Amino acid sequence: MSTITLDITNSLKSSGNKGGLEKKAVNSAASELGQYNKALWKNPYGFMELPGKRFQFKEIKELAGRYKKGKIKNLVILGIGGSSLGTETIFDALLHPFHNYGEDMRKGLPRYFILDNIDPHTINRIVDVVRKEIDHTLLVAISKSGETPETISQFMIFKRLMEKGKNFKEKIILITDQKKGILKQISDKEGYHVLNVPEGVGGRFSVLTPVGLFPSAVMGIAIDDIARGALDMSNHIRKAKYTNNMAIALASILYLMDKSGRNIHVIMPYCERLSGFADWFRQLEAESLGKNSFGPTPTKSMGVTDQHSQLQLYVDGPKDKCIMLMYSARERRPITKTFPYIAELDYLAKKDLNELFHAEFLGTSLSLNEANTPNFTVLLNDINAYSLGALFFLYEMAIAYLGHLYGIDPFDQPGVELGKIYTKAIMGKTGLEKQKNKADLILSAPKTLTTF
């Protein structure tokens, strides 16, 4: 049985869906990417080599093993964007959905707190929780550059908190660049355990490095299976031809949808365990492709929840959207005949919740098709470490191919860097006086306000 199936039927123009793409256009884009694919593997991007190299797996396993034996009760992860979204995706997909709620769900594993924001309210609440168990808290700070102001500020706060515990240096892990950056300077000076982001791998492509895999190993997740899934997908992408190549087909569809005016790409999982993956994909597509006035807008919906909030727009609103459905559901739960005196409920009684969930998914696809809203489906036979690794690599490769089709570099993020510069300038970082003056001038201009 297939691990992942990509069904692009409803993205193609047909008598039942006039909003789809011409098959000839898809084949043309796939042919171009097929030629590019041959050259690309001769000089691959850094992330493409990760599944085979298994970068620092030995160090990850040895270090994670120490904390499994060390009665760690809290895992606190400091990181933002690519430094946290991959880990969130893995945890959402593979851990109990109520992991932090009680020992029965955790089965001896620590609670986890992923701090991907600096809202003081949240930070203060986490501090209140972990300060009571500081001797049993593991702190992981992640920043490739080592200079991300959000993560560094969090580390400054939590490092001081950790100092109040016993042998605190043994319970701080830094994941950063191998050669440079503030976190590296700190580790060199103070002697913390360090894992690295390999050269040539950017943050949003770093889930298959210690960034995503070390926290996963601490949680007992089989990182070898994640890597194996990614490697098998890598072999498929390297060898498969044209639209039989899942990454090439995916990239061709997404590119042509954007170019045909369907520039809003909605990723809509029918599987709550893939909610984190939808967030991970949003960053991957937006930050990689949103440049030089190009780039689709990725958004997230959840099936079935957003059938009752967003589907009206997708069916009856502007024809500027392409819907990427994802589906996986294996567990079953019988619907009991609880109200035998209400005949209107007989169509549900003695059925299974799995059947209803699948019918809801099919109903959405059919309604989108009838409304000429193009959509396609990624079906996963199961959600496990292997399939998740394959899924990560599939979408990373699709983004690399999309960069080629757009003629842009999918691995930089100049817009993000500009925001970081202004943030540091406003906070008074030396060397950014010009930017500080410019910011002050703009911020001091008269405002048009309405107050309540």
Under 8 Å between Cβ of 329 and 270: yes
DSSP secondary structure letters along 304-366: TGGGGTTHHHHHHS-S-EEEEEEE------B-----TT-GGGTTTTTSBHHHHHHHHHHHHHH
In this predicted structure, what is the pLDDT of residue 296?
96
Sheet strand arrangement including 264-270: 4-7, 375-380, 321-327, 264-270, 297-300
Token couple for 264: 């809003």
Residue 76 per-residue DSSP state:
E
Same fold, 4-40+226-406 and 56-197: yes
Q: Calculate Rg over the CA atoms of the chain.
A: 24
Question: Distance (Å, rounded) from C-alpha 135 to C-alpha 70?
Answer: 10
In this predicted structure, what is the pLDDT of residue 1?
57
Question: Distance (Å, rounded) from C-alpha 252 to C-alpha 62?
Answer: 42
Question: Distance (Å, rounded) from C-alpha 338 to C-alpha 74?
Answer: 42
Its sign, for the CA torsion 178, 183, 184, 190, is negative
CB contact set of 128 (below 8 Å; sequence gap of 6+): none
How does pLDDT run along the chain (452 residues), one tens digit per residue?
Answer: 589 999 999 999 988 889 999 999 999 999 999 999 999 999 999 999 999 999 999 999 999 999 987 689 999 999 999 999 999 999 999 999 999 998 889 988 999 999 999 999 999 999 999 999 999 999 999 998 888 899 999 999 999 999 999 999 999 999 999 989 999 999 999 999 999 999 999 999 999 999 999 999 999 999 999 999 999 999 999 999 988 999 999 999 999 999 999 999 999 999 999 999 999 999 999 999 999 888 999 999 999 999 999 999 999 999 999 999 999 999 999 999 999 999 999 999 999 999 999 999 999 999 999 999 999 999 999 999 999 999 999 999 999 999 999 999 999 888 777 788 888 888 888 888 888 888 888 888 888 888 89
In this predicted structure, what is the pLDDT of residue 166?
93
In this predicted structure, what is the pLDDT of residue 325?
98
Q: What is the dihedral of CA 110, 114, 118, 123, to 10 degrees?
A: -20
DSSP secondary structure letters along 207-233: TTSHHHHHHHHHTT--HHHHHHHHHHH
In this predicted structure, what is the pLDDT of residue 295?
93
Question: Distance (Å, rounded) from C-alpha 443 to C-alpha 432?
Answer: 16
The domain locations on the chain are: 4-40+226-406, 56-197
User: pLDDT (tens digit, 9 = 90+) per residue, 168-191?
Assistant: 999 999 999 998 999 999 999 999
Which residues have a catalytic role annotated? 287, 308, 420
Bridge partners of 195, per DSSP, are 175
Tell me how far CA of residue 17 lies from CA of 60, 230, 254, 263, 424, in angstroms.
49, 34, 17, 18, 50
Tell me how far CA of residue 13 lies from CA of 8, 159, 369, in angstroms.
11, 57, 10
In this predicted structure, what is the pLDDT of residue 429?
87
In this predicted structure, what is the pLDDT of residue 255?
98
Token couple for 49: 């080599």
In this predicted structure, what is the pLDDT of residue 357?
97
Q: Looking at domain 56-197, which CATH architecture does it have?
A: 3-Layer(aba) Sandwich (3.40)
Question: Distance (Å, rounded) from C-alpha 75 to C-alpha 322?
Answer: 38
CATH superfamily entry for domain 4-40+226-406: Glucose-6-phosphate isomerase like protein; domain 1 (3.40.50.10490)
User: pLDDT (tens digit, 9 = 90+) per residue, 403-434?
Assistant: 999 999 999 888 777 788 888 888 888 888 88
